[in-house]
Chains A and B, each alone.
Chain A
Amino acid sequence: MHRLLAILLVMLASLALGLGATLWVVSSNPQIGALRAGPWTSDLRAATAPDPYTRARQARDGSVGLVLTEGLKAAARVDDSGRRLFANCTYRVSGNVPPSRFWTLTAQDGNGQPIDTALHRANWTSSELMRGTGGHWEIVVSPSAQPGNWLPVSGNAPFQLMLMLYEPSILGGTASVNREQFPHIQRGDCR
């Protein structure tokens, strides 16, 4: 009797733990095996040969993944110093972007949806950016109005920046990127 109870307990615990791990991994997207460049992470495998984790996630959330020839997504949840991005702070995003035909930078909330402010601007595209000499650009992510390329955010919740590269040309078969190919994210004042 004692033994039967023990076996039952082991089975139940295994089932709960195993299914729990599956549920967690497909709903929270912990970026297993992602490519890293400073604060940026990119799930390169999802774009080339999706692993079972990506497949399970796509089956559950209805998303349609980009093929690498179409585009590549990179996301940052932290700034250059590794501090979590918060919508009540101002961030200066500048530097390089891996060579591509076109790119966009979007501020997303915790659910991966664009942050909708009264200004209805949740992103900047490489075509519309105001640039300085030598093509230098800077996007200021901030809850308060900024001159230049202002990407408004609101509230004080954590958020993430999504960098989408369309028809990227960096990845000629190799999966190596270096830090300086991706933009810097520097934190300014916080409210």
Chain B
Amino acid sequence: MSAWVRLQQVLFGLMMIAVLAGIVHIVSLLVMPRFASQDAYHLLIAQDSASKIRLIDEALRSKMVEDPAIVAAACPYDLNDGPLRIGVAPLAQEFLSISFHPTRGPAFFALTDRAAAKAEIDMLLVTQDQLQAIEGEDDPEEPITELRLVAPEQKGFVFVRSLVRRPGERAEAERRVLSVGCEIDKSEMPDN
């Protein structure tokens, strides 16, 4: 075998490695989130899967919250149990953000206290089916006061953040994030 043919073979091998490695890289990157058990949702429900608001403790803080000035709370949900009502009233004049996350991937909705038109936030997180059922029961004479949001999937979590402006105001910020109501509300659903 001539040296030239040998070189061609080696070059072809290297090219194949580059192409295949690229494919492996892209596929593994896209597939990885599907098999993750260390993502935020799974870490939260490993602690407590109930649909209620709870403070992000020290154990989860180092992963979920980068900024020491942020106090956070989370509320995992499962809409199979019914629609989720999220409410804050009255709003303090302090930063408060509420974001809605599916089990994996980026948030599908977020709002801050300033985005609320009134002095309160009243939201209902529903599935498409629940929305249709609720709209069927709506009284056409009565204005709808709540913001209805359709979730992309049944499960996920709500994440609430507020700021500690000065070192002594941590407890106040914790009370603020925990004051966000987050619970399954079956009263909206028509009787089956």
Contact = CB atoms under 8 A, between A and B. Distances in A.
Interface residues of A, number: 53
A112 B163 CA distance: 19
Contacts of A167: 95, 112, 114
Contacts of A166: 95, 97, 163
Interface stretch (A85-93, A99-107, A138-146, A173-181): A99-107
A156 interface: no
Interface string A33-60: 0000000000000000110111110111
Nearest to A108: B66
Contact of B105 (A19, A25, A50, A67): A50
A59 B58 CA distance: 20
B62 A113 contact: yes
A126 to B, nearest CB: 8
A10 B13 contact: yes
B25 A19 contact: yes
Interface residues of B, number: 54
Contacts of A108: 66
B24 to A, nearest CB: 3
A73 interface: yes
A14 interface: yes
B22 A64 contact: no
Contacts of A164: 66-67, 69-70
A61 B95 contact: no
Contacts of B36: 59-60
B77 interface: no
Given A56-B30, A60-B32, A62-B40, 11 more contacts: A6-B9, A58-B33, A61-B38, A70-B112, A73-B66, A106-B67, A106-B69, A114-B68, A125-B164, A125-B165, A128-B167
Interface of B: 9, 13, 16-17, 19-30, 32-33, 36, 38-40, 43, 60, 62-70, 72, 95, 97, 99, 101, 104-107, 110-112, 114-115, 159, 161, 163-167
Sorted nearest first, the 7 A-B pairs with minimum C-beta distance are: A18-B24, A14-B20, A59-B36, A17-B21, A59-B33, A67-B110, A127-B165
